[in-house]
Chains A and B, each alone.
Chain A
Amino acid sequence: MAPEPNRAGNGASTSGTAKDEAAAKKKIESEDLSDEDLALKQQLELYVERVQDTDPGLQKVALESMRQEIRTSTSSMTSVPKPLKFLRPHYGTLKAYYETMVESELKKYLADILSVLALTMSAEGERESLKYRLLGSEGDIGSWGHEYVRNLAGEIAQEYAKRQSEEAPIDDLMELVKQIVAFHMKHNAEPEAVDLLMEVEDLDMLTEHVDKTNFKRTCLYLTSSARYLPGPDDMLVLDIAFSIYLKFEEFPNALQIALFMDNLLHVRTVFTSCHDVLRKKQFCYILARHGITFELDEEMVNDDEEREVLQDIINNSKLSEGYLTLARDIEVMEPKSPEDIYKAHLLDGRASAGASVDSARQNLAATFVNAFVNAGFGQDKLMTVASDSSSSGSSGNWLFKNKEHGKTSAAASLGMILLWDVDSGLAQLDKYFHSNDNHVIAGALLGVGIVNCSIKNDCDPAMALLGDFIDKEDSSTRIGAIMGLGIAYAGSQNEQLRYKLAPILSDPKASLDVIAFTAIALGLIYVGSCNEEVAQAIIFTLMDRSESELGEPLTRLLPLGLGLLYLGKQESVEATAEVSKTFNEKIRKYCDMTLLSCAYAGTGNVLKVQNLLGHCSQHLDKGEMHQGPAVLGIAMVAMAEELGVEMAIRSLEHLLQYGEQNIRRAVPLALGLLCISNPKVNVMDTLSRLSHDTDSEVAMAAVISLGLIGAGTNNARIAGMLRNLSSYYYKDTSLLFCVRIAQGLVHLGKGLLTLNPYHSDRVLLSPTALAGLITMLHACLDMKAIVLGKYHYVLYFLVLAMQPRMLLTVDEDLKPLSVPVRVGQAVDVVGQAGRPKTITGFQTHSTPVLLAAGDRAELATEKYLPISPILEGFVILKDNPDYREE
């Protein structure tokens, strides 16, 4: 039981040295002692002797003096305080004497001192400090110094775990915990307090101790640690943080947590507990960016007119306006043609010389590039060119420079160009509705869906216009309408649409592609809802497929539609996953992987990543294709936080080296998802290497992914790489098509847009955005049959993830307001004391301003106060009442 003082001492200072050597050293040390120290040592030795004296009075004096010595000794971080050091040899003696003492005040005094001495002396795992503390006088815990409290907290955690397993009472411990938490919270050690409370599973205690000065740091620590906790603990932690934020009226943060938990009741609470209209407006902007459907009612907002204004914000009806304000400010309104993007003049004469004949594939690529580059600007050089010159109009001309199904994408590209601008979008698309070409009509329908993406409108134009077409004979128009509805109503959980779309799944006359797109559309509309009816409908459809139909490339969209229903919903998927085990074995594993990866998407769950990696490590010879979605799944799960992303990138490198071909084909796509709109140099290099892979499918995926990681960044390095690839692959039309698409993506919205589904300081994950991305990526798993075949319009699913990467400050009347802001690399300030700098290497701009991946902004003026602490998207500013002009 009693540790040898010598051994423990050596262990602390120089472990591993021979005993005699240490003894010799000690001798020298004692000889080296200064007079002062020597006096102290002798003094302490005297006290130790006195403590063992029989006279209680003398004992008391000795104990008092000893305590005095210990407390007054200034402790430093690197060395043991002198009194403790000199008392070390006597720890054993004192302990032995303590056992012999009778119960008295004095005994408790000695216990206190022993508890402190145990701090440096007690053997690992003995928890003697805690033991004597509990036996001691229960005085002010902080009086023994910070280190003592920290040590005690650690021992409590261990003791608690032990008692939990023995089901022993813990009341005495909790009493101590209360003291320690109070101490920590008072002394800027919130993380320690939170850690301790998490260990003893009593976070509620925190609410008593937080105050105005420390709640921010506390909540920050709570929310960031929640990521690493297993469910359902994480939800508990977030709940606490939510209630603290509510208590201190930090509503935007509370709302952020509510959205993170996907708890609409909490969102409601935020609205009902806040009474400031301006703040509510800001909430609406946050909700709009998140892309969820949310209806305000009277309880949340009393005034009818106000409610309408707020609902308008949630419905994103001003998004287009804000985006164009940004574009005008940055001066990029001038439309760009695909040639401006290709920059063929920079390539020394390698580009194909004879461009005299139109190539349908290249024109289609130009259509997409044009759509991506001019997305949302309302003008371009191909589709919207003023048709006043001649009766046919040049836009008509470009449309007919596309072949058959290419016209669908061309007509739909008009929707992309007029993105978010429903009024003019519908007006311009109208002319295509009267075409007699089914492909053009299909494109117009899809275009309507794209224009309405993430915009809600009372008149439901998309539903009104597309509703009639979903039962048409022609399957291309049908797909156009269904996909349009899926994009326009993503995340809305619209019942009416379910009644319209679900019967198509069981329609015996519907072709497989119609069914596949219906499943996706339903998946998008009910994304993350766990809706039973839709799930049933898709499951039945999957079961009805014949063996040969299950082998079709588009069949992969059916399990994905099912998976989208459970996006990010973790355990809720289990029942459906069980059912999927009864499917035909051709699709069973594929379905399993898709469901798993969707359900844990954006959770960062390491166990699931390991599970998926396990599936990827198998070498298959039967040509199964479930490893593709498994690889994508790794990215989907791991993309949640920075550390996970880094680890996933490393694991994917391994898969690249040892994996089979079907895995290698998915790896670039997974990398693309992990670093979406965030061109990390190492990933860029990997993809650049893979873009020259001998397997053309790997190369294609890598090229597309280069576009994805650079999406909307105008990254010069990627642009250069792609330009060189365009000359390298000038003869391979398929690869050239991919290169063109990637070039379009890099210049997405002329560099004003992002595809990153994460927003608000990379905390919130927009479910519809992620759903759009993974739908497109799943389609890319079979590039040749889908994207390079006649379903290239799946690329338009990316529109769901498109958002302006801007900070637009508005005044109280929601009019743009230009103020100076500092924009710099975000710094992680979790667990740091004081008020640390949140950005580094900043530059000062005036709003509206673009934010790159990992950037954070802060106001550079005192004149205004932002309503939201997160400066992203639309932020309302109000005048600072304390501001004085200098």
Chain B
Amino acid sequence: MASIFTQLQSFRRNESHETDASVVADSFTSESLILTETIDVYPTNAPYKRKVSPANAEEFNHSSTSRKNLVIMIFLIVSVKWQKELFKDVEIDTSQPPYVFKCQLFDLTGVPPERQKIMVKGGLLKDDADWAKLGVKAGQKLMMMGTADEIMKSPEKGTVFVEDLPEEEQVAAVGHTAGLFNLGNTCYMNSTLQCLHSVPELKSALIDYSHSGRSNDVDQTSHMLTVATRDLFSELDKSVKAVAPMQFWMVLRKKYPQFGQLHNGVFMQQDAEECWTQILYTLSQSLRSPGSSENTDAVKALFGIELNSRIYCQESNEESSETESVYSLKCHISQEVNHLHEGLKHGLKSELEKASAALGRSAIYLKESRINALPRYLTVQFVRFFWKRESNQKAKILRKVDYPLELDVYDLCSDDLKKKLEAPRKFLRDEEGKKLGLKVNEKSSVPKENDVKMSDAEGSSNGGGEPSVAPMEEGEKETQMTGVYDLVAVLTHKGRSADSGHYVGWVKQENGKWIEFDDDNPKPRVQDDITRLSGGGDWHMAYIIMYKARVVSM
């Protein structure tokens, strides 16, 4: 075929032939029969025709001999429309097959004959059609379709569609993990799990657990619960569709039979805080590395808050201090509390009655706590439920208590800790200042830096007992706590009492977006939605919130 093109093109260069022919044709009226000896006309076209179809040369010869007898040739002048162009006065030599006509058009348009589609009265012009039967009239407008463009090819590598992907890979496309099916009033468990699931360190600790295996000091049910948690978390990460936490639910009931309470044959709604605490307790037991000191307790390292309390009795002026480790701070809600900070302060002060050695009777003691070591994840529980004797149920305080997206606990810390925090906080401020484009006052920062070094030295001499300032692990030596926390998860309750209503988890994803995990139906949310959960109505209100420490690496 290619050879024909080159020939055709060579013919095209030889334009004088073409113009000659059209001049001949033009000189006659379009419908006139051209009575002439074939020889007169042929010379102009002959070389062209022979070249066109050498294979059919014999046939042509044959036809030309037969035509010699007739010596009648019919030229039809037609116009051909191609795209936006109109070629007027294109003559058709009706004695030739349409292929010749197509070659003529190739000449005009550059569209190869086999890609030309010429429309003649509701049909396509075939290469071997007979002009006489087509009924083409002089002056008729023909339409040609075809392009010289390259035919498009399908790309070698087909597009991959989400719909064809295996499920694990679809997760990445969805942008968040799966929901959990409600197994009958298990929303308290689902929301708790979703919040805990958002802690990557806990996940990795759980994965490590499988390698260490069950140690002797962990009882069977705790082991099972830990394994179930691990499996559930990994399932959540893999799946797009909601997961039914059946195994976990069974093990949880086995370990803590109180969650298996039935009411009218249905499992009862439970307090999410209780669930949260119990799960964390179990995990802290089982995730302890066998036979090592307590600072390898992963859960404690992540969530443990060390409180230094001063217990003081006004009557006797007795004073003692004690240190305790808790997993969450309580935010007490009273008339004066409008903000988380006030609630926390309130929660750190308490009165207790205990036997006074000096007075020989029980007396009122005042207990004031300060944070001595900060956790990676700071959990705050809003004490919204209290036992209401009249109605015999855990009633709820609906008061609105605002909480910030960014929490600074500096003034709740003990003096020791405050000192340690200063340098990282300064560093953090400078970093933020830089981000905002402010110039850091170099001079003022120098002496403080010296301070830091001193306090650092102090801290390290104290030993590794304090997870706050001391490095968590060997690899992360540089990261330091700042006392500033970012909100990462909110567990909310909707309803009027702890044993009824609905629990939902709101979790910040790694990409900074919030997802509301309403059982099996995760919904994307915006930051404003999260701050709206502070209570004061019948909407979801925060019950447990979790902050992640903002650390600096210096």
Contacts and interface: CB of A to CB of B under 8 A. Distances in A.
Contact of A357 (B84, B115, B117, B161): B161
Contacts of A396: 152-155
Contact of A353 (B151, B158, B513): B513
**Which of A430, A458, A460 counts the most B-chain CB atoms under 10 A from its CB?**
A430
A359 B147 contact: no
A432 interface: yes
B160 A358 contact: yes
Nearest to A407: B154
Interface stretch (B137-145, B369-377, B540-548): B137-145
Contacts of A392: 152-153, 155
B124 A435 contact: no
What is the size category of the interface that chain A forms with chain B? 35 or more
Given A459-B120, A464-B122, A464-B124, A387 B161 contact: no
B123 interface: yes
Contacts of A437: 154
Contacts of B117: 430, 433, 464-465
A363 B158 CA distance: 14
Interface stretch (A25-33, A419-427, A671-679): A419-427
Given A399-B152, A458-B141, A358 B526 contact: no
Contacts of B538: none
A360 B115 CA distance: 32
Contact of B174 (A348, A433, A496, A731): A731
B83 A358 contact: no
A461 interface: yes
Size class of the contact patch on chain B: 35 or more
A463 B162 CA distance: 39
Interface string A333-356: 000000000000000111011111
Contacts of A727: 524
**Most chain B CB atoms below 10 A, which of A354, A397, A399, A403:** A354
Interface in B109-143: 115, 117, 119-124, 141-143
Given A352-B174, A358-B159, A465-B124, A423 B84 contact: yes
A360 B124 contact: no
A387 B81 CA distance: 24
A69 B84 CA distance: 82
B151 A434 contact: yes
A473 B245 CA distance: 51
Given A353-B511, A357-B165, A359-B163, A465 B119 contact: yes
A655 to B, nearest CB: 30
B172 A356 contact: yes
Interface in B245-268: none
A9 interface: no
A556 to B, nearest CB: 27
A361 interface: yes
B110 to A, nearest CB: 13
B523 to A, nearest CB: 8
Contacts of A387: 149, 152
Interface string B497-525: 00000000000000101000000000010
A374 interface: no
Nearest to A403: B161
A457 B83 contact: no
B154 A400 contact: yes
Interface string A453-494: 000011111011101100000000000000000000000000
A431 B153 CA distance: 10
Contacts of B81: 423, 459
Contact of A460 (B121, B145, B174): B121
A445 to B, nearest CB: 13
B1 interface: no
A428 B145 CA distance: 9
A730 interface: yes
Given A356-B173, A431-B151, 17 more contacts: A348-B526, A349-B513, A350-B524, A352-B174, A354-B174, A356-B172, A357-B160, A357-B172, A358-B160, A358-B161, A392-B153, A395-B152, A401-B159, A434-B115, A458-B141, A465-B145, A467-B123
Interface in A378-410: 387, 391-393, 395-397, 399-401, 403
Interface in A302-347: none
A434 B441 CA distance: 71
B158 A461 contact: no
B143 A457 contact: yes
A459 B84 contact: no
A791 B186 CA distance: 43
A464 B123 contact: yes
B175 interface: yes
A459 B143 contact: yes
Contacts of A458: 141
B161 to A, nearest CB: 4
B290 interface: no
A424 B151 contact: no
B35 to A, nearest CB: 29
Nearest to A460: B122
Given A423-B84, A460-B121, A464-B123, A358 B147 contact: no
A360 B162 CA distance: 7
B150 interface: yes
B146 interface: yes
Contacts of B120: 459, 464
Given A350-B526, A359-B161, A400-B154, A430 B119 contact: no
Nearest to B83: A427
A397 B124 contact: no
B152 A361 contact: no
Interface in A537-556: none
Nearest to B114: A434
5 contacts: A353-B175, A357-B162, A359-B161, A465-B124, A468-B124
B399 to A, nearest CB: 29
Nearest to B526: A348
A615 to B, nearest CB: 38
Interface string A412-456: 000000000001101110111111010000000000000000000
A432 B151 CA distance: 8
Contact of A391 (B145, B150, B162, B165): B150
A187 to B, nearest CB: 59
B365 to A, nearest CB: 50
A730 B526 CA distance: 15
A436 to B, nearest CB: 8
Contact of B147 (A350, A430, A468): A430
A459 B173 contact: no
Interface string A720-739: 00000001001100000000
B145 A426 contact: yes
A400 B159 contact: yes
Contacts of A363: 161
A430 B146 contact: yes
Contact of A349 (B83, B172, B526): B526
Interface string B160-200: 11111100010011110000000000000000000000000
Contacts of B161: 357-360, 363, 403
Interface string A114-133: 00000000000000000000
The 4 closest A-B pairs by CB, nearest first: A459-B143, A464-B119, A353-B175, A396-B152
B179 to A, nearest CB: 10
B145 A430 contact: yes
B275 to A, nearest CB: 27
Contacts of B142: 459
Contacts of A355: 173
A376 B159 CA distance: 28
A467 B122 contact: yes
Which of A397, A459, A461, A496: most chain B CB closer than 10 A? A459
B145 A400 contact: no
Nearest to A391: B150
Contacts of A423: 81, 83-84
A354 B173 contact: yes
A352 B141 contact: no
A258 to B, nearest CB: 29
